[in-house]
Amino acid sequence: MKLEVTQLTKCYGKTRAADGLSLSVGAARVLVLIGPSGGGKSTLLRLLGGLETADEGIIEINGQRLSTEVSELQAYRRKNGFLFQQFNLFPHLTARHNIALPLEKVHGHPPAEALVLAEQALDRFSLLDHADKLPAQLSGGQQQRVGIARAVAHQPEVLFLDEPTSALDPEMTAEVLELIQELAEAGQDIILSTHEMGFARAVADQVAFVAAGKIEELSPPAGLFAAPKSALCQRFLSRVMRY
């Protein structure tokens, strides 16, 4: 995965969620965004995924420059997968149909084929026994795994994950992180934000420290965690890795 971001700006009222942000990643399978809450990680993910459009700046992913044209953005979104902090499963649909519905309605698969693909995705993540359960009948970890299965069922070019374990207890967090690591090892390009520093160190090819709407530091994990150069990054890591 190649990524070039130049002078990206996104404002919500008086808040500059992205403030002239620039980022250059020559080659990475997994890019992890870390940083304080409110620093701009989620906004950057949404901009990279084409779910938001920037006020200013340029984004290129794998040589493709993101357009602001609605039809082109929709085509770009269909190529990728998304999972955010909340599970966002349809509460009235089973796990199987939560995955099959977007395959049919968004990606154009015939209904029968969509169901087959949904079952294959569930089986891949050891969820086939839960295919006929509603979200309320699943644990938090199982719901998030269904969300990930839905995000990757159409074989996305890039998978965007925004703090995918923020609503989970420690055991479920470990379960979901192991699943994400398996996806990365299988070759899936991933851009994710997380507060799990051990996971970031183990899985990332590149780690970007995002604060105040800017990229304060970008480095392979071994360098960033062992010897951060930015004073903001040093202070952040000293706090979150204290215990």
- Would the pLDDT of 56 be above 80? yes
Same domain, 119 and 76: no
Same domain, 10 and 68: yes
Average pLDDT over residues 188-197: 93
Residue 87: per-residue pLDDT: 67
Residue 164: per-residue pLDDT: 85
Q: What is the DSSP letter of 136?
A: G
Q: Per-residue b/e over 131-159, b at no fewer than 16 CB within 10 Å?
A: bebbbeebebbbbbbbbbbbbbbbebebb
Q: Where is the domain boundary, 125, 155, 185?
A: 155
Residue 49: per-residue pLDDT: 94
Cα 5 to Cα 7: distance, rounded to the nearest angstrom: 7
Q: Where is the domain boundary, 155, 179, 197?
A: 155
Average pLDDT over residues 177-182: 88
- Would the pLDDT of 202 be above 70? yes
Predicted TM-score of the model (pTM): 0.92
- Would the pLDDT of 242 be above 90? no
**CATH (domain of 20):** 3.40.50.300
Same domain, 52 and 165: yes
Q: What is the pLDDT of residues 76-110, one digit of tens each?
A: 999 999 987 766 899 999 999 999 999 999 999 99
Q: What is the pLDDT of residues 116-171, one digit of tens each?
A: 999 999 998 889 999 999 999 998 889 988 999 999 999 999 999 998 887 778 88
**Domain assignment of residue 133, given as a range:** 86-155
- Nearest of 34, 19, 52 to residue 210 by alpha carbon: 34
Cα 112 to Cα 107: distance, rounded to the nearest angstrom: 13
In order of 43, 67, 82, 149, 217, the CA distances from 169 in angstroms are: 25, 39, 21, 20, 30
Same domain, 96 and 68: no
% of the chain beyond a pLDDT of 90: 78
- Would the pLDDT of 173 be above 90? no
Same domain, 195 and 215: yes
Same domain, 242 and 201: yes
Average pLDDT over residues 165-178: 82
- Where residue 179 falls among pLDDT bands split at 50, 70, 90? confident
Q: How does the average pLDDT of the chain come out, rounded?
A: 92
| Number of structural domains found in the chain | 2
